[in-house]
């Protein structure tokens, strides 16, 4: 079998995590690819929300290159604007948020605003929340994708852009006034994480075949919960890879990107 | 009002200045007063972008940018604003790419012509193409003050303004650092007793919007994703609307449900085909990634080396070297325009 790239592994795992008969609010890139793959395989009635305003588009013109891409509005069932789709989310119509970010902490809080500690003059300014902060607050469950690197899985974020479980206290999200239940899965190229119900801390669920749990812990800047029953990540079949490479991202816009070591 | 907060300070060490609870543009009362003072009859609002910008754009104003990232973005109007010049701008937008970067580049090249003081926003970047180099340059050098919200936060701030209310409760921002750094505030809901976040209305002095089609009075249709364009048009105290196509008033009256911006919310109207180019306009053309990449590369070169040569060349060629948007589009080769038209794939729109 052809070698699976890290990006393909993330997209395929993202697809596995998504459920049929649900609505996913997708961010640009791998979330779109994962949701498209799920629709083509196990979740034909999974529907997407794109934040420029569309619900359940038919992506017959190919993968949208961004959530504002006009292709993402193609043959939607409902097409309004940002208020329209975020209000669907706030009201409880959106089951999954599918977002990325620059850093994540053990409670699933995510940074996509700045690097450095001074908001007024940061070392590096990222684009900002975009929809992510609202999606993480009000979609029912948040799925995050992130390359598994120590600089990204950190003890303390530089800035909390998208709320997870906050400081881990049981009423944090309630006090924050947000609606969704919070972080659900974190997908990386080498491991799949969930969250411990009791402590709300990140928990290792699956690892790539051949990778040890110690190796995963070494790539993470905080202590993971590592249960005894960690499973192996399921690998995409030849058919899945063909779908990803030749049908969904045929031009290689996202899947051909490299993970920095 | 009882000001409270979530426990955000337990998880974050971010350094920031607390922003006073104030508006970075007209207050709701000022905005209402201006609206009430305008004549509301149906009148031909068509003009040139030069005249519209001359009339409405003034130093120190809050400028609202329509569209979303690279969709139906008001590029033609932004070019004209740059040619005209304006200082101490406050930008307000949810997510934008090239419009915000074009204004930033104009400031870097000649701060006596164009300058941005601050921006209230959710996102500023190029998505798949990369980060926004000029935003990064300005923030790293402390040249701009930012006020961060989510895309819903900024959109609903325009919506609150369009609704004529001073603030609106939302279920996001709370518990994240935006609660600390932006102009929103947490309060206890008087009905449920639970925490709820409030964001202030955002009334730009002038909103720049590119619409699919409008009649000569300004009644506008938005085909494809509507972004936050109707809210933004109605939030602004004045608006400059460019339309891909002017259609007969009769068509508007045939399907009044399709009007997303009513005529009193439009002050100046200009028919500008390709007015969003190199951004996309659903039903007409897709975005031109190569052109955006070219501008971004010139910006990135400046950020990395400090060399403004290529950036200046871009402005000299495509903005200052053009009297209007038609001349800009004439500089884009016909193959490219044909290609972006094809890439739209004939998305269905209603013009009749």
ipTM, 2 decimals? 0.96
The CA distance from A173 to B109, in Å, is: 45
Q: Which long-range contacts (CB under 8 A, 24 or more apart) does B286-289 make?
A: B286/A70, B286/A71, B286/B340, B286/B341, B286/B343, B286/B344, B286/B345, B287/A69, B287/A70, B287/B70, B287/B71, B287/B340, B288/B332, B288/B336, B288/B340, B289/A65, B289/B129
* Type and span of the H or E element at A52: none
The CA distance from B4 to B197, in Å, is: 10
How much is the mean pLDDT over chain A?
Answer: 95
Q: Residue B11's pLDDT is what?
A: 85
To the nearest whole Å, the CA of B54 is away from the closest chain A CA by 30
Mean pLDDT of A236-260: 89
What is the 8-class DSSP label of residue B269?
E
Chain A residues in contact with B124 by the CB 8 A cut-off are 127-128
Mean pLDDT of A147-166: 96
- Which of B98, B101, B175 has the highest number of chain A CBs within 10 A, making it the mutation to test binding with A? B175
Listed range (A53-67, A226-240, B245-259, B293-307) with the worst mean pLDDT: A53-67
Mean pLDDT of B178-191: 94
Q: Residue B19's pLDDT is what?
A: 86
Q: Residue B6's pLDDT is what?
A: 66
Evaluate whether B200 touches B147 at the Cβ level (below 8 Å): no
Facing residue for B172 by CB, picked from A138, A167, A175 = A138
Catalytic residue among A3, A8, A21, A51: A51
Evaluate whether A166 touches A109 at the Cβ level (below 8 Å): yes
How much is the mean pLDDT over chain B?
Answer: 96
Give yes or no for residue B233 having a pLDDT over 70: yes
What is the 8-class DSSP label of residue B263?
G
Chain B residues in contact with A73 by the CB 8 A cut-off are 224-225, 282, 347
The CA distance from B265 to B261, in Å, is: 7
Chain A residues in contact with B231 by the CB 8 A cut-off are 81, 83
Q: Tell whether B192 lies on the interface with A, counting CB pairs under 8 A.
A: no
% of chain A exceeding 70 in pLDDT: 98
Mean pLDDT of B38-60: 98
In chain B, which among 317-346 make CB contacts under 8 A with chain A? Answer: 344-345
What's the token pair of residue A115?
A: 């690097």
pLDDT tens-digit map of A2-47: 689 999 999 999 999 999 999 999 998 999 999 999 999 999 999 9
- Which of B142, B150, B178, B346 has the highest number of chain A CBs within 10 A, making it the mutation to test binding with A? B150
Which pLDDT band holds residue B4 (cuts at 50, 70, 90)?
low
> Given an 8 Å threshold on Cβ–Cβ distance, is B69 in contact with A67?
yes
Q: Residue B223's pLDDT is what?
A: 98
pLDDT tens-digit map of B205-232: 999 999 999 999 999 999 999 999 999 9
| Span B25-166+201-344 CATH architecture | 3-Layer(aba) Sandwich (3.40)
Q: Residue A258's pLDDT is what?
A: 65
Please tell us whether the domain made up of A6-248 is placed in CATH 3.40.1080.10.
Answer: yes
Chain A residues in contact with B177 by the CB 8 A cut-off are 113, 119, 159-161
Give yes or no for residue A1 having a pLDDT over 60: no
Torsion of CA B334, B338, B344, B346, to 10 degrees: 130
Q: Residue B13's pLDDT is what?
A: 82
Give yes or no for residue B7 having a pLDDT over 70: no
Q: Residue A171's pLDDT is what?
A: 93
Torsion of CA A17, A158, B174, A106, to 10 degrees: 40
Facing residue for A118 by CB, picked from B10, B15, B151 = B15
Cross-strand partners of A202: A195
SS3 of residue B333 by DSSP: coil
Q: Residue A257's pLDDT is what?
A: 73
The CA distance from A45 to A21, in Å, is: 5
**Residue burial B289-301, b: 16+ Cβ < 10 Å; e: rest:** bebbeebbbbbbb
Does the annotation mark A239 as catalytic?
no
CA A151 to the chain's CA centroid: 18
First to last CA, chain B: 51
Which pLDDT band holds residue A261 (cuts at 50, 70, 90)?
very low
SS3 of chain A: helix, strand, coil, percent, to 5: 25, 20, 55
Chain A residues in contact with B226 by the CB 8 A cut-off are 53, 79-81, 84
Evaluate whether A252 touches A2 at the Cβ level (below 8 Å): no
% of chain B exceeding 90 in pLDDT: 94
Domain ranges of chain B: 25-166+201-344
Q: Residue A219's pLDDT is what?
A: 98
Mean pLDDT of B288-307: 98
* Type and span of the H or E element at A67: none
Give yes or no for residue B201 having a pLDDT over 50: yes
Evaluate whether B163 touches A83 at the Cβ level (below 8 Å): no
- Which of B143, B176, B292 has the highest number of chain A CBs within 10 A, making it the mutation to test binding with A? B176
Smallest CA–CA distance from B282 into chain A, residue: A70
Domain ranges of chain A: 6-248
């Amino acid at each position: 079998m052809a070698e699976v790239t890290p990006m393909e592994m993330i997209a395929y795992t993202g697809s596995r995590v998504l459920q049929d008969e649900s609505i996913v609010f997708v961010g640009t890139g791998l979330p779109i690819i994962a949701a498209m793959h799920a629709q083509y395989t196990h979740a034909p009635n999974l529907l997407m929300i794109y934040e420029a305003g569309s619900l359940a588009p038919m992506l017959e013109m190919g993968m949208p290159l961004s959530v504002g891409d006009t292709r993402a509005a193609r043959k939607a069932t409902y097409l309004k604007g940002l208020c329209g789709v975020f209000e669907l989310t706030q009201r409880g119509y959106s089951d999954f948020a599918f977002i990325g970010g620059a850093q994540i902490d053990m409670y699933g809080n995510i940074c996509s605003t700045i690097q450095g500690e001074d908001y007024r003059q940061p070392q590096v300014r990222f684009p900002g929340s975009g929809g992510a902060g609202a999606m993480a607050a009000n979609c029912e469950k948040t799925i995050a994708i992130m390359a598994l690197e120590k600089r990204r899985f950190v003890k303390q974020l530089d800035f909390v852009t998208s709320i997870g479980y906050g400081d881990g206290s049981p009423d944090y999200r309630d006090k924050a006034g947000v609606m969704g239940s919070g972080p659900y899965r974190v997908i990386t190229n080498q491991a799949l994480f969930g969250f411990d119900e009791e402590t709300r801390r990140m928990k290792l669920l699956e690892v790539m075949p051949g990778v040890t749990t110690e190796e995963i812990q070494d790539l993470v800047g905080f202590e993971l919960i590592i249960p005894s029953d960690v499973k192996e990540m399921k690998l995409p079949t030849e058919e899945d890879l063909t779908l990803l490479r030749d049908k969904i991202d045929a031009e290689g816009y996202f899947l051909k990107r490299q993970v920095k070591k | 009002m009882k000001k409270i907060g979530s426990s955000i300070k337990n998880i974050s060490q971010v350094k920031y200045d607390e922003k006073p609870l104030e508006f970075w543009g007209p207050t709701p009362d000022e905005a209402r007063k201006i609206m009430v003072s305008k004549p509301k009859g149906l009148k031909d609002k068509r003009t040139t972008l030069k005249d519209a910008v001359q009339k409405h754009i003034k130093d120190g104003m809050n400028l609202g940018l329509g569209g979303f990232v690279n969709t139906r973005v008001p590029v033609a109007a932004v070019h004209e604003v740059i040619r005209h010049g304006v200082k101490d701008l406050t930008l307000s937008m949810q997510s934008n790419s090239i419009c915000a970067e074009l204004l930033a580049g104009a400031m870097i090249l000649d701060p006596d012509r164009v300058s941005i003081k601050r921006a209230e926003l959710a996102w500023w970047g190029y998505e798949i193409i990369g980060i926004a180099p000029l935003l990064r340059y300005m923030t790293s050098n402390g040249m701009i003050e930012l006020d961060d919200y989510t895309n819903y936060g900024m959109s609903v701030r325009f919506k609150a303004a369009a609704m004529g209310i001073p603030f609106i409760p939302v279920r996001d921002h709370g518990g994240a650092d935006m609660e600390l750094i932006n102009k929103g505030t947490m309060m206890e809901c008087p009905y449920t007793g639970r925490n709820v976040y409030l964001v202030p209305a955002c009334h730009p002095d002038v909103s720049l919007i590119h619409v699919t089609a409008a009649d000569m009075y300004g009644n506008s249709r938005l085909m494809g994703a509507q972004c936050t364009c109707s809210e933004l048009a109605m939030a602004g105290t004045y608006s400059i609307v460019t339309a891909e196509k002017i259609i007969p008033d009769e068509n508007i009256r045939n399907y009044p449900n399709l009007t997303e911006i009513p005529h009193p919310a439009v002050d100046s109207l200009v028919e500008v085909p390709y007015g969003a180019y190199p951004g996309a306009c659903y039903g007409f053309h897709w975005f031109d990634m190569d052109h955006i990449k070219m501008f971004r590369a010139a910006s990135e070169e400046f950020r990395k080396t400090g060399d403004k040569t290529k950036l200046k060349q871009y402005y000299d060629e495509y903005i200052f070297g053009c009297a209007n948007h038609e001349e800009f589009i004439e500089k884009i080769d016909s193959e490219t325009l044909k290609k972006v038209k094809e890439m739209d794939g004939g998305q269905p729109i209603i013009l009749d």
